[in-house]
Amino acid sequence: MKKITLAFLAIVMLLPGLQAKEGMWIPILLGTLNEADMQSMGMRLTAEDIYSANKSSLKDAIVKFGSGCTGEIVSADGLLFTNHHCGYSQIQSHSSLENDYLTDGFWAMNRSQELSNPGLSVTFIVRIEDVSAAILNGLDADLTEAERAQKIEMRIQEVGDAAVQGTHYEYEIKPFYYGNEYYLFVLEKYLDVRLVGAPPSSIGKYGFDTDNWVWPRHTGDFSVFRVYSGPDGKPAEYSEENIPLKPKHYFPVSLKGVEQDDFTMVYGFPARTQEYLPSFGVEMVMNVTDPIRIKARDERLRVIDREMAASPLVKIQYASKQSGISNGWKKWKGEIRGLERDDAIAKKEAYEQEFMALVNSRADWKMAYGSLLSDYAELYKQVRPLTVAVEYFGETGYALEFIRVSQKMLEATRSWSSDETEQAAAKEKLRTFSQNFFKNYYAPIDKELTGSLLEMYHDDVPTSYRPTILNTIEEEYNGDYASYANWLFANSAFMNQAKLEALIDNFDPAAVQSDPAFELMMSFFQAYSAVYGQYDDLETRIEALHRTYMKAQREVFADKTFYPDANFTLRVSYGKAEGMKPEDGVTYKYYTTLDGVVEKYIPGDREFDLPQKLITLNEDRDYGRYGKNGELRVAFLASNHTSGGNSGSPVINGDGQLVGINFDRGWEGTMSDINYDINQCRNISVDIRYVLFVIDKFAGASYLIDEMTLVE
């Protein structure tokens, strides 16, 4: 048998139909691009059932939850499901040593007990429109990138303002295919979102860091909120007069579950993918950006985890921070592993060779696109050292928590007024900031990380990109960064609440600017500004190449249907419930059960402890109507293409019913943001029956079950 070459594989990958389950599709295009394929896999809906601007459809039950997740409406009274980790910061904000809702869970047993969450919003999509012509037509090809961006921004404002004029709606217009198309999203944002329930972390975060991004998974990753409107049904700030939202659509909840090969669909807001990066970009991710982020977060997690383990208060204060740091850290490790195992760079290079062969076969293509890859190679070579500096700025200097205080004080000095009334208002804002900041701040963590992260930056970043403060530390402290950190924290007012508020009470811009923490921040900002100017110029040129390369691929490979990269806009992905074979001799079943949860149980362990009630319910097989054949399913795998932002997304069966809540990907497939492999990439969801079981049998909040529409 002849050996199949990578180039041949790249050609095969382009043939229509072979990647039907890959992709994050724009809802308004499902009718022309995906409906038939979805129905052939078991969907019994139409494209208009999924998205319609004129009648109720599934899209009317989907929300952007906060600034980084998805949620879904599950009752006629605005009840909302999302992930536990999506509601984590809200749960933490209500937690204290006396009422530790992170550890013990929280359940409102009636609506008067629901907890408000200032600053939290949910956003519905009213309609989507292709406005590419209005944004792009007539743009002069000779415009510089800056001039082009300015004209596009003006047109975006004109089109968007006209779309929502005379309404309470908002809008966003975003580029797709690297700016080759633009779509308008008309939005309705609700501002009163209340916490209804959350399981204890021993359920909602079961497995913590060890199981994160890993299958088999046994995490009940869900939380429950309710959306409120004003008495007129429109968005309103929190008020006791507000009423539960009456949605245009809400999901019926299936008790049937999913079986092997059942159709599944994920509907939500994936945040960011880069599926069309050239090989040079993939190499940069694998060998520069991801390793830097991992190294810096190794150190941050080392210190934070140790201090959280030693103090119940610090455990609450840093729970949300640690979760965010750890999530990215483990994702990037898996991303590198997956890209290496899938030989992603070689596959990209094979694809590029085939692309260039076709480009060179036509004179017009050769003229327009013949230098693309060589231009890429040169720009990525130039940007590489700057990328090192920019990534270390973000993961070391800017990762120090007191930098936030320094930034806030910088803003205050720049806007300080001679008017006494304005001064009093500015001081009050600073005091509020101080109280919020120190509520979740533990100075010993920040002090230790100041020493180790600044030393890391000094050692790993070229001299020409270092802040001058590092030279001072080398000279005056003989490179002893821990000693410098001790001096800094002893002499700055920014890391101590009493000192900071005394400084605020007697605010003097000159005194603020002479604080050593302020001086450190300014040294980093000045160095960063110098680096970022060069970096941004090169990135702008690379982005322009991306736009041209995307246009070229769609011309050269005209038979291939290209889906746009994720950009935190509403998308549909679809696949089926199925396991996988991650490596030789290993096969994953597509679901896990409560028996598996108990098998992992380690009494008193931070990650694998369990509530006794859950253990007893399992021992008694007291699953109610949520179990099946003597077992209770907890989570399942499916081949839906997901990304960050899809956390909390509904997993929907072929009849438009809710069967799960998406919360993760398998570690083997975290590379899917860059390189999707249908054989390795799986999304992980909590089975909706486990969610209902926890609400009903474990928490005793059966009144919530009563307001849902359950389908047997």
CB 78 within 8 A of CB 61: no
Calpha distance 190→235 (Å, rounded): 5
Beta-bridge partners for 687: 660
DSSP bridge pairs for 652:
265, 658
Cβ neighbours of residue 22 closer than 8 Å, sequence gap 6 or more: 563, 641, 676, 678
Tokens of 577: 């419930």
Q: Say how far apart CA 504 and CA 510 lie, in whole Å.
A: 12
Q: Calculate Rg over the CA atoms of the chain.
A: 26
* Dist. CA 642–CA 664, nearest whole Å: 8
Please check whether residue 648 is in contact with residue 70, taking contact to mean a CB–CB distance below 8 angstroms: yes
Closest CA to 268 of 37, 31, 61, 19: 61
**CB 672 within 8 Å of CB 665:** yes
Q: Please, are residues 132 and 174 in contact by the beta-carbon 8 Å criterion?
A: no
Write out the catalytic residue numbers. Answer: 85, 221, 647
User: What CA–CA distance (Å, rounded) separates 670 from 644?
Assistant: 10
The DSSP H or E segment spanning 662 is: strand 658-665
| 272/275 Cα distance (integer angstroms) | 10
DSSP per-residue string spanning 186-231? EEEEE-EEEEEEE--HHHHTTTHHHHTT-SS------EEEEEEE-T
Structural tokens at position 378 = 């040169």
Spatial distance between the Cα atoms of 524 and 189, rounded to a whole number of angstroms: 37
Q: Where are the beta strands (DSSP E) in 30-149?
A: 62-65, 69-73, 79-82, 106-107, 115-116, 122-130
